[in-house]
Amino acid sequence: MAYRVLISDKIEDVCPQVLKDGGVECDQKPGLSPEELLAAIGDYDGQIVRSATKVTAAVLERGRAGKLKIVGRAGAGVDNIDMQAAEKLGVKVVNTPGLNSNAVAELALGFAFMLARNLAPADAGLKAGRWEKKGLSGFELSGKTMGLVGFGHIGRLVTAKAKGLGMRCLAHDPLVPSDVIWAAGAEPAELDAIWRGSDFVSLHLPKNKETLNIVDARVLSLFKPTAYLINCARGGLVDEAALFEALSAGKLAGAAVDVFAVEPPGDSPLLKLPNFIAAPHLGASTLEAQLGVARKSAELLVQFFRQLG
């Protein structure tokens, strides 16, 4: 039996090649409107998405009424897939955690370097014809404390890299035993201890009901005024209005984010602050990560269909 897969987001060529090598037919149709996706999904046994396509309950219902059996996410997060609807309808969801972890960890440390050495304003000033050497003195990461909130693949990689720079690492994750945190080179700590005691706080959490706006005005009030916040995890973990207030009032030295609650963020007031730097959700945007998640997502679907026979 020939199975068909819809690839509805842009993805590396290795993905359709692995599917075809595995005897699975595929169509690449990135950029489908919600209406076009609804009209097409029932003709496919599987679907592969990145982050752009929203696999809603309606999409899953229409797909299940047709042939849809599995959705593969080429990446770790499944925020764009209605997991409750998938479970209810019996549509399997697979993802590729860990394959973009190093890319995200490197970006988090890159943000730390940028914040510590004032690289963003230094670059902007020089390009504007200003030589501001005296006003942009920074500090070294060695000897500073990195607080990790979330200690999965990415948090542990950040710890290894930060320890290599001579940083002390604190970590909090209710799902990770203390001995595992110690073994990875970090010190287990309660959340308030991390908020209060870190020079950098780096978030590495999924977004759910428990973590939504976990960094709010109360939490930001606990930070040292010399501390920095880094978010390369998910938009919505940080109350952006509260962050704007804290940065504007000097209650926080600076922040760097790769993700926003709404993307693109439009005319977010945060973008106008000199002590705020951002990227357009580039965490997994490396050649190595993109190839890895593209290949793995295809392999997972090929394996699934082979088991079906």
Residue 234 bears catalytic tag: yes
pLDDT of 98 reads: 87
Q: Please tell me which residue in 4, 117, 196, 281 is annotated as part of the active site.
A: 281
pLDDT digits (tens, 9 = 90+) for 151-210: 999 999 999 999 999 999 999 999 999 999 999 999 999 999 999 999 999 999 988 899
Check pLDDT > 80 for residue 1: no
Average pLDDT over residues 27-55: 96
Residue 171, SS3 per DSSP:
strand
Residue 288 bears catalytic tag: no
Query: Which contacts qualify for 249-253: CB closer than 8 Å, 24 or more apart?
Result: 250/225, 251/220, 251/221, 251/223, 251/225, 252/220, 252/223, 252/225, 252/227, 252/228, 253/115, 253/225, 253/226, 253/227, 253/228
Q: Please tell me which residue in 36, 190, 263, 288 is annotated as part of the active site.
A: 263
Q: What is the pTM of this model?
A: 0.87
Neighbours of 166 (CB within 10 A): 11
Residue 4 bears catalytic tag: no
Check pLDDT > 90 for residue 130: yes
Check pLDDT > 90 for residue 76: no
Confidence of residue 16 (pLDDT cuts 50, 70, 90): very high
> Which domains can be identified in the chain, with CATH numbers?
4-99+288-308 (3.40.50.720), 101-278 (3.40.50.720)
Q: Please tell me which residue in 234, 240, 295, 299 is annotated as part of the active site.
A: 234
pLDDT of 43 reads: 95
Closest by Cα among 122, 147, 150 to 134: 122
The three-point CA angle 74-80-86 to 5° equals 90
pLDDT of 135 reads: 87
Confidence of residue 218 (pLDDT cuts 50, 70, 90): very high
